[in-house]
Amino acid sequence: MYGHTSGLIMGEANRRRKLGIPPREKTEDIKIPQLDKIAIQQKIRSTLYKNPIIPFLFYLAVLMILIGGLFYFFKSFNIE
């Protein structure tokens, strides 16, 4: 049963050859840009040294989100 299916399943290269179409052109590989981790760390550190309030603002925002989530939780379940 499975021996006859190999003739039915035809790859693209065989199909193009039987139809008389030239082989498909190979596409160029996409080159992924490499990240320079050291340069990124230096940029972040220089930004934090110039603006030392940024970490405090970040922690304040996280704290506000957590308090808001607790408030929403207690309000939605009517926990008093």
Per residue in 18-68, pLDDT (tens digit) is: 988 888 888 777 888 888 999 999 999 999 999 999 999 999 999 999 999
7 has a pLDDT exceeding 80: no
Q: What is the CA radius of gyration of the chain?
A: 30
User: Of all helices (H) and strands (E), which one includes residue 4?
Assistant: none
Q: Which two tokens stand for residue 13?
A: 């290269």
- Spatial neighbors of 10 by CB under 8 A, at least 6 apart, are 18
**0.75 cut: is pTM over it?**
no
- Mean pLDDT along residues 68-73: 91
